[in-house]
Copies of this chain bind each other. A is one copy, B any other.
Amino acid sequence: MGFRIAIIGSGAVGGYYGGKLAAAESDVHFLMRGDLETIKRNGLHIHGPAEQVELRTINCYNSSAQIGPCDLVLIALKATANHALVDLVPPLLHECTMLLTLQNGLGNEEFLAKSFGAERVLGGLCFVCLRRISRTEIQRYDYGDIVLGEYRRAAQPRTHEVAAQFRRAGIRCCVTDDLLLERWRKLVWNIPFNGLSILAGGLDTAAMLADEALGASALALMEEVVAAANACGHALGHDAIEEQMRRTATMGSYKPSTLLDWEAGRDLEIEAIWGEPLRRARVAGAQTPRLEIVYALLKALVTGAKSA
């Protein structure tokens, strides 16, 4: 009996990692809504540097009851749609089903733990530049790595097994004993670049770095995030900033996913990426004036756009 994997959320992240796993002949089952018929008919195509994946036939379904119990559920929904998981997940569960959230920001593991039991929950950080360029095509621009960990405990044998599944599919994957530390490390990038790109009127990474004042603001925001992580008890080194700046410099003209969402009129993960980190920083007594104003502006922008 194979290792059954369900993918919930078939945007760029779900499509890419699910597609790679399927291409490596893992037993993958996609839960889809709007694009189900199109993808059934045309397949799913992944293009990347030295990478070409053509999936002609895909297991996809419009209800999780049709999928049934799985060993691993990969959750790549927008965090703003988490409430839907309460109905979507239960048909996928057997006693030992693992729930792996690949979502951004803070609070997603907590939501899954509260809803389905903490022992099921793993989290993954995706360091990848992706864009869905059509309903059936995903473009990978850069990177692709996943950092995988358990919710509130060190890595377990199963964590390494899941990592091995990803590696078998050609995805670089490493395992961490401190998932939250890695989440903060990723926020060092997402908080400045996803936020400023929207507030500055739609700038990509190259344009942000080329603007001296904006680049300085991004750096200062990164410092705030590192300080907040440390105040929250995660020993995130200052080198996280240099690492992220180095990554960013090689991205070229990359539009952060939140900017793409904003431009397409999709929901933004304001609470997961900015709100929850800000609240945790505050409780821990960290000073985060820039994060505070970026959060307030993004929230007001989204609220205004919704009521418009």
> A52: shortest Cβ distance to chain B, in Å?
35
Question: Contact flags (1/0) for A294-306 with B, using CB distance below 8 Å?
Answer: 1111011101110
Please determine whether A200 and B300 come into contact, CB atoms closer than 8 angstroms.
yes
Question: Contact flags (1/0) for A17-55 with B, using CB distance below 8 Å?
Answer: 000000000000000000000000000000000000000
Residue A202 interfacial (CB < 8 Å): yes
Q: Which A residues, 274 to 308, have Cβ-Cβ distances below 8 Å to chain B?
A: 289-290, 292-297, 299-301, 303-305
Given the complex, which residues of B lie within 8 Å of A211, measured CB to CB? 296, 299-300, 303
Given the complex, which residues of B lie within 8 Å of A292, measured CB to CB? 213, 216-217, 220, 290
Please determine whether A296 and B217 come into contact, CB atoms closer than 8 angstroms.
yes
The verdict on A293 contacting B296 (CB below 8 Å), with A201-B305, A301-B201, A303-B211 known, is no
> A147: shortest Cβ distance to chain B, in Å?
29
Q: Which 7 A-B pairs have the closest CB atoms?
A: A213-B296, A200-B300, A217-B296, A201-B301, A289-B289, A201-B304, A217-B293
Q: Which residues of A contact B (CB under 8 A)?
A: 196, 199-203, 207-208, 211, 213-214, 216-217, 220-221, 289-290, 292-297, 299-301, 303-305
